[in-house]
Structure 1
Amino acid sequence: MQKNTKSAAKLPLFVFLGVAVGLLLGTTIAGSGPGSNPFNSLLKFREIVTHIDRYYVDEVNTESMVEDAINGMLEKLDPHSVYIPKEELQMSKAQLEGQFDGIGVEFNLIRDTIVVVAPLAGGPSEIAGLQPNDRIVQVDGKNVAGTNISNKEVFNLLRGAKGSKVELGVLRRGKDKVQKFTVVRDKIPQHSIAASYMVNDEVGYIKVTRFAATTYNEFRTAVDTLMAQGMQKLILDLQDNPGGYMDRAVNMADEFISGNKMIVYTDGKKSRYDSQSRGQRTGRFEEQPVIVLINEGSASASEIVAGALQDNDRALIVGRRSFGKGLVQMPIGLNDGSELRLTISRYYTPSGRSIQKPYGSGKEYGSDLKERYEHGEYFSADSIRFSDTLRYETRKGRVVYGGGGIMPDVFVPLDTTQNSTYLSKLYLSNVVNEFTLNYTENHRNKLVKMGYKEFYNHFRVTDAMLRDLVKLGEREGVEFDEEGFDRSKELLRTQVKAVMARNIWNNNGYYPIYNQTSRIFQQALQHFDQAAELASND
């Protein structure tokens, strides 16, 4: 166990106490609850930690103990008030800032080895000479192959300050010896628009994976590009989008909503955390039909967009009920470089709905999605029960409900007809990724010469290819399951083709093929008449 000197042990305590005093002062000024005395509580905490430090029989890690206490306090509040230690903060912020410092490579862990899927075009790795299917076996002279390395550990090794260097030892097909590459780290952009393409002559598709610093600008560029290609209708895919910056969501919604209509408002403990966000600009797509795709993984900022467009009768929402996160967090930097993200308000859709799902009072917040699955909500809209007290109306009088997520206008049940345990095992063992990476690398020149349009329309994953994939699975310990294979065969065929397309043409190659297997996407294409009616009545 780590041993602390008295000064080292007390330092994090004093840092914490300083932060706590500041927060408690703020609470006192704002107005404490009846009978509460935060200073007495703080003194009690300090007294207990001091006694532990002085008298406890074993040495203790005071810093770890204080962080546990912080997390314990926050657990009493709500599920989204969190403490982020200094060492984890950079990674957390990188997800929202739209860029990070690193080597610019997409990788996969295959057979406990870092395998390059693709170096970022124009990025440090491509400049240094890395190629798809390279095996990274050494980082700065340290062996990283066969060491049970995790994705997080790979990120920690490959990311670093702009201008710093990292030496990679690479095994390349056709070469007997480890090749050495020196890569100079640089700013690496992270795109939150995963794909944007024309589905047909009229319908455009935009997939948004999160709401980061660059999302709105990326979105405007995607819309402009698709409109130049003739887009007259849009599918906005927010499935499995966990959210992010609220203002980026507001700006995106404003591109569809005319005038100064309400988009979202917040209500906090004190009026300084109350706000209203209304339309401010003439958007790029205010009059054309829009369909928004959501599911149980769509949360927070995604729900702001879906709720605003639904309540303003501006778009048709298709899919399954969204996650239900309607709490707003404020980041508060702490003295030691860590951060507190504290819930300061709730947000409400234009009709007045709070879509935050219940928590507290013994409610197992984290198991909510599992419970939805078990009581049949993923398969039937009739299994969802809304209280009349949570009934609201859109601007045109359509009935909507609050109390836990956005309920779509068109419910699409989860399709499990082609899923199987065998298919899941193939994915979990990374067999599908390994097979497609090897195939595309062996046939890259042929596939590139073929071109995407020819590949999309005529390339077929043959039975012989699937047999090779099955054999690879057996070598990786995935026992062949004939019944599971037969059930999942056609789904596997399409998904292998989609992953192959991504290896050559990135996500704009992947999603047009993958969406052939998406029931929500296919249903959306059938409901543009309803979306058009909403657009015409705006």
Structure 2
Amino acid sequence: MEHGDEKEPIRNSPFQIKLPLFIALALAVGVLIGANSFSPSSTNPQGTAKSYLKFRDILSYIDRDYVDTVNIEELSDYAITKMLEKLDPHTSYIPADELAMARSYLEGDFEGIGIEFNIFNDTIYVISPLSGGPSEAAGILAGDKIIAVDGKKVAGTNINNEGVFKRLRGPKGSKVTLTIKREGTKKPLSITLERNKIPTHSVDVGYMVDNRTGYIKVSRFSATTYEEFKEALTTLKKKGLERLILDLRGNPGGYMDHAIRMADEFISGEKMIVYTDGKGSKYDSKTFARTKGDFEDGPLVVLLDEGSASASEILAGALQDNDRALIVGRRSFGKGLVQMPIPLNDGSELRLTISRYFTPSGRSIQKPYTAGAEAYGQDIIHRFENGEYFKPDSSLFVDSLKYKTLRGRAVYGGGGIMPDVFVPRDTSELSPYLSQLYTKNIIREYTLEYYRNHRKELEKMPFEKFSKTFKVTDGMLQEVVRMASAAGVAFKQEEYSRSEKLLRNNIKAFIARSVYGNEGFFPVLHESDEEFQEALKHFSMALGMATGGAYK
């Protein structure tokens, strides 16, 4: 991608300015919110007409002459869905009776268990538990497969989005039991959740790590994300912020305009943030920084992982290609397709991919779809099986995938955003025993009970004192083990010993959440967060970028 002469005025196109009204706002499940009429012009009108007549004739013959009575509308919907699977993973058809449910899910105004999910190969896969929701609290992880709900099998039953919503949503306070199949766990896990109002906040926390280092975690891009971010940034600047860690791990995306506005807070001048490219030029657009941001100069580190998708990738890609931030972590998800919602005459909706997102250097964010829907859906699991969580995938670092940043640094495409500093998943302290403590909700139950029993003394203690002096004792750990045994979790000494340090940290963190909220939870959790600790070590590299100096 060539950059224009800096002397020439750079402007966002009229199309891009209107983009949030009818095309932008892409969500992690690959769909958009908008209302734009669309009249497709065919490049092959004869072929389209011929195929239409063929499809009409076949439906007519089935309806009139097939040996059994068939639901023609249901058959047609099935054919459409299978046809769209041949295009890409995010073009989709929403039947009329599912549309209201789908829209309410996208808008986040619902009560349920709080997960982002997709259905692949007739199986419900967890894409990400929503921060602060019941699923996150119960220890549900990205990649988990939901195989039964309240004892009734849902895998291999041709379940659709509406079927998932009906089973997982419900009034606040009601309970639902999930049967989960997790990679690396032989037996299915049974997890009972209490439904709740899914929190609408998207900036989980902003706090000062030390007297000059700030941290902001953005869990998704909702309708209020930019305002929440600005408020957090302003607060930290008043506390002496000089350098910042922006955490986008597990952020599945959301409203694109909020990610773009956030990028503009970091990127100076009129540099490019993102561009789209479709068939012809109708849906092509270029977006540039426009305003003076509140943090255009200080060292910036962005945390990214395989759960970071869509809007998160556009933000990270823009910062990386403009040499504005150091990306630390692992390769992001790889969702870079733009969908347009097209209302159909029966009240259903087609969400059609009309362009691709590209970073300023020219990298397509979208990962390949050459092996079909099933392989695409299993990509995250395949990365684990191929060892990519523990070392970079060398097949993605080839000349054909090489691009150049604004200052000439090499970056690589291949789907998703590649980090500048790779951090492997730290699994040294994880164990099946610790996993069961989460899936059985033992840790949350214990810490809530501890908080209730020690509430008065805890609430008198400033967080700084709690952080330095509070210790999770051996007696507390023994009580957790007793609770686990009573819940049917067999004690295993080797696994317990491996996870003991992490267990102590997590217990302290959840007690801190009960007392101080996320402002207490995350600082404690980060003490055992290898990726966070690695980010703190690389501010000198980030400073070199921020000042235009040497990058080492």
1:514 maps to 2:488? no
Matches within 5 A, 1:448-527: 448-527=459-538
Q: Which amino acid aligns with 1:512?
A: P
Q: How far 1:155 sits from its partner (Å)? A: 6.3
Q: How far 1:517 sits from its partner (Å)? A: 1.8
CA distance in 2 between counterparts of 1:455 and 1:440 reads 13
Match of 2:428 among 401, 417, 423: 417
Is the CA contact (8 Å cut-off) linking 2:396 and 2:414 kept in structure 1? no
Match of 2:204 among 194, 198, 221: 194
Matches within 5 A, 1:223-234: 223-234=233-244
Larger displacement relative to structure 2 (306-315 or 362-371): 362-371
For residue 427 of structure 2, give the secondary structure of its aligned residue in structure 1. coil
For residue 266 of structure 2, give the secondary structure of its aligned residue in structure 1. coil
Q: Which amino acid aligns with 1:100?
A: D
1:281 maps to 2:308? no
Q: Which amino acid aligns with 2:545?
A: L
- Deviations along 1:47-75, whole A, 9 cap, x unmatched? 33333334444444444333222211111
1:535 match: 546
CA distance in 2 between counterparts of 1:194 and 1:334 reads 38
For residue 341 of structure 2, give the secondary structure of its aligned residue in structure 1. strand
Is the CA contact (8 Å cut-off) linking 1:412 and 1:520 kept in structure 2? yes
- Identity across aligned pairs (percent)? 54
Q: How far 1:500 sits from its partner (Å)? A: 2.3
Q: How far 1:275 sits from its partner (Å)? A: 0.2
Q: How far 1:437 sits from its partner (Å)? A: 2.6
1:214 match: 224
Q: How far 1:248 sits from its partner (Å)? A: 1.7
Q: 1:478 to 1:52 in 2, by over 3 A?
A: farther
Q: Which runs of 5+ in 1 are unaligned?
A: 1-22, 108-119, 121-145, 160-167, 171-186
Larger displacement relative to structure 2 (86-95 or 312-321): 86-95
For residue 170 of structure 2, give the secondary structure of its aligned residue in structure 1. helix
2:300 match: 290
For residue 296 of structure 1, give the secondary structure of its aligned residue in structure 2. coil
For residue 497 of structure 1, give the secondary structure of its aligned residue in structure 2. helix
RMSD: 3.1
For residue 271 of structure 1, give the secondary structure of its aligned residue in structure 2. coil
Q: How far 1:309 sits from its partner (Å)? A: 0.6
Q: Which amino acid aligns with 1:289?
A: P
1:242 maps to 2:252? yes
Tell me which of the two structures has the higher relative contact order, counting C-alpha pairs closer than 8 angstroms and 6 or more residues apart. 2
CA distance in 1 between counterparts of 2:371 and 2:219 reads 32
1:32 maps to 2:41? no
1:100 maps to 2:109? yes
1:79 match: 89
Q: How far 1:105 sits from its partner (Å)? A: 11
2:314 match: 304
- Deviations along 1:157-216, whole A, 9 cap, x unmatched? 327xxxxxxxx899xxxxxxxxxxxxxxxx986111111111111111111111122211
Q: 1:536 to 1:296 in 2, by over 3 A?
A: same
Q: How far 1:286 sits from its partner (Å)? A: 0.6
2:368 match: 358
Matches within 5 A, 1:47-446: 47-86=57-96, 88-90=98-100, 92-94=102-104, 96-97=106-107, 100=109, 152=165, 156-158=169-171, 190-361=200-371, 364-381=375-392, 383-446=394-457
CA distance in 1 between counterparts of 2:346 and 2:208 reads 49
Larger displacement relative to structure 2 (424-433 or 402-411): 424-433
For residue 69 of structure 1, give the secondary structure of its aligned residue in structure 2. helix
- Deviations along 1:444-498, whole A, 9 cap, x unmatched? 3332222433322222222222222222222222111111110001101111221
- Deviations along 1:374-404, whole A, 9 cap, x unmatched? 2222112364542211111111111111122
Q: Which amino acid aligns with 1:215?
A: T
Q: 1:492 to 1:59 in 2, by over 3 A?
A: farther
Is the CA contact (8 Å cut-off) linking 2:364 and 2:413 kept in structure 1? yes
CA distance in 2 between counterparts of 1:349 and 1:46 reads 42
Q: 1:366 to 1:229 in 2, by over 3 A?
A: same
CA distance in 2 between counterparts of 1:228 and 1:244 reads 29
Larger displacement relative to structure 2 (427-436 or 387-396): 427-436
Q: Which amino acid aligns with 2:407?
A: K
CA distance in 2 between counterparts of 1:148 and 1:497 reads 34
Q: How far 1:86 sits from its partner (Å)? A: 4.6
CA distance in 1 between counterparts of 2:345 and 2:459 reads 53
Larger displacement relative to structure 2 (401-410 or 361-370): 361-370
Q: Which amino acid aligns with 1:421?
A: P
Q: How far 1:268 sits from its partner (Å)? A: 0.3
Is the CA contact (8 Å cut-off) linking 1:307 and 1:406 kept in structure 2? yes
For residue 460 of structure 2, give the secondary structure of its aligned residue in structure 1. helix
Is the CA contact (8 Å cut-off) linking 2:42 and 2:48 kept in structure 1? no
Larger displacement relative to structure 2 (230-239 or 52-61): 52-61
CA distance in 2 between counterparts of 1:87 and 1:508 reads 42
Q: 1:239 to 1:90 in 2, by over 3 A?
A: farther
CA distance in 1 between counterparts of 2:318 and 2:43 reads 33
Q: 1:287 to 1:340 in 2, by over 3 A?
A: same
For residue 353 of structure 1, give the secondary structure of its aligned residue in structure 2. coil
Q: How far 1:412 sits from its partner (Å)? A: 0.8
Q: 1:105 to 1:395 in 2, by over 3 A?
A: closer
For residue 236 of structure 1, give the secondary structure of its aligned residue in structure 2. strand
Q: 1:188 to 1:486 in 2, by over 3 A?
A: closer
Q: Which amino acid aligns with 1:158?
A: P
Is the CA contact (8 Å cut-off) linking 2:275 and 2:360 kept in structure 1? yes
Is the CA contact (8 Å cut-off) linking 1:436 and 1:499 kept in structure 2? yes
CA distance in 2 between counterparts of 1:459 and 1:530 reads 34
For residue 480 of structure 1, give the secondary structure of its aligned residue in structure 2. coil
Total equivalences in the alignment: 450
CA distance in 2 between counterparts of 1:319 and 1:94 reads 33
> So what's the TM-score if we normalise by structure 1?
0.77
Q: How far 1:92 sits from its partner (Å)? A: 4.2
